[in-house]
Amino acid sequence: MAFEMPSTSATMLSGLRAGQEGAWDRFYAIYAPIAYRFARKRGLGASDCEDVVAIVMRNLLVAFRRGLVVDYSRGRFRNYFRAVVNHAISQQLKRTGRDGELDPQTLAESQPARADREVARLEARELVRLCVEQLKATYPRPRDVVIFERYVIHEEPPARLARLFNVSRARIYAIRHEVLAALKQYMAEQRAEFGMDAEGDSAC
Amino acid sequence: MLNWFRRCPSPQRLLEYARRHASVWVARHVQRCPKCRQELERLYQEEELVALWSDRGNDVDESTRTRLLLRCQQVAREVGADQLGDRPPVRTRRNGCHPPAP
């Protein structure tokens, strides 16, 4: 798969331990919505989910400030993250008096292998979202991004778009290629910045 | 007829095939043509990227994202103050100052 994320970035984890504000902001941008989604999936209301995110981030911040070292022999950072999220959800369910509500499906999802896959899928989605935002803000031909979205995302027929935007059909296909190339470039840059191509190092 | 199957489809037709699998002759051609199979593999990878771009299912809206970010930053400030002890000491009349409440 093209967007496989072999491990959560060792570089990013080092940045978190060092308390780099940029690293934390990016961490929040990717992982806060993931924690929020997991909490929603367990049936918590919006404000309870936000509390879960706050608990998760508090626990992680404290752990990293104390020099958290991920023990890769016991699992990846994703497993650890999922465990922290599950713990926060349980706490919140207790607080709201709903701790008796256990869904066997979500328990199955918390098994390490499944948790890893699920968090990896959501990580990839959040990373693409960040890069799409960046692309929309900086792409030199904004109209091409509009054409791309209408053709590729909303699946409008290229012939109609060609008429509408007064370009050739071949140009529509070329735009698809160019925008995807730019997106891949942004992804590569983000991954490099996060160190996402590297497997977790022993220091994490 | 055989030559027709041997001819490679245009990049546009191959792309349409990658997206919809709606052409029997492209399917047959791809089975025999390693070059087109490789190109198709690349297109499938791009389609995975497109799927992630367009994946709106169960998504978190922008206002929620903004609230989450602000909440996280607030938590970070609180943890920073707790952990680093950089909260200003509170002065009292009797004994000068005391440590911040936990």
Partnered with residue B98 across adjacent β-strands are B90
Give me the half-sphere count of Cα atoms (radius 13 Å) on the Cβ side of residue A182.
20
Contact call for A128 and B53, based on CB within 8 A: yes
pLDDT at A200 over 50: no
Q: Give the pLDDT band (50/70/90) at residue A203.
A: very low
Judged by a CB distance cut-off of 8 A, whether residue B46 touches chain A is: yes
To the nearest whole angstrom, how far is the Cα of B8 from the nearest Cα of chain A?
17
Quick one: pLDDT at residue A143?
96
ipTM: 0.73
Contact call for A54 and B71, based on CB within 8 A: yes
To the nearest whole angstrom, how far is the Cα of A24 from the nearest Cα of chain B?
9
- How many beta-carbon pairs under 8 angstroms link A with B? 87
Window from A41-45, A188-192, B27-31 with minimum mean pLDDT: A188-192
- What digits encode the pLDDT tens for the residues A131-150? 998 899 999 999 999 999 99
Q: Give the pLDDT band (50/70/90) at residue B54.
A: confident
pLDDT at A128 over 80: yes
Residues of A in contact with B53 (CB under 8 A): 128, 132, 152-153, 183
Partner-chain residue, chosen from A24, A57, A128, that has the shortest CB–CB distance to B49? A128
Tally of helices (H runs) and strands (E runs) in chain A? 9, 0
Contact call for A62 and B53, based on CB within 8 A: no
A14 CB burial (10 A radius; 0-12, 13-18, 19+): middle
Instruction: Give every CB contact of residue A18 below 8 A, 6+ residues apart in sequence.
Output: none
Residues of B in contact with A180 (CB under 8 A): 46, 49-50
CB atoms within 10 A of CB A130: 16
Task: Compute the distance between CA of residue A72 and CA of residue A83 in angstroms, rounded to an integer.
Answer: 14
To the nearest whole angstrom, how far is the Cα of A174 from the nearest Cα of chain B?
10
- What digits encode the pLDDT tens for the residues A34-82? 999 999 988 899 999 999 999 999 999 888 888 777 776 666 778 888 8
Q: Which position has the token pair 């890893």?
A: A116
The answer to whether B32 and B7 are in contact (CB under 8 A) is no
Q: Give the pLDDT band (50/70/90) at residue A188.
A: confident
Q: Which range scores top for mean pLDDT: A17-31, A65-79, A187-201, B71-85?
A: A17-31
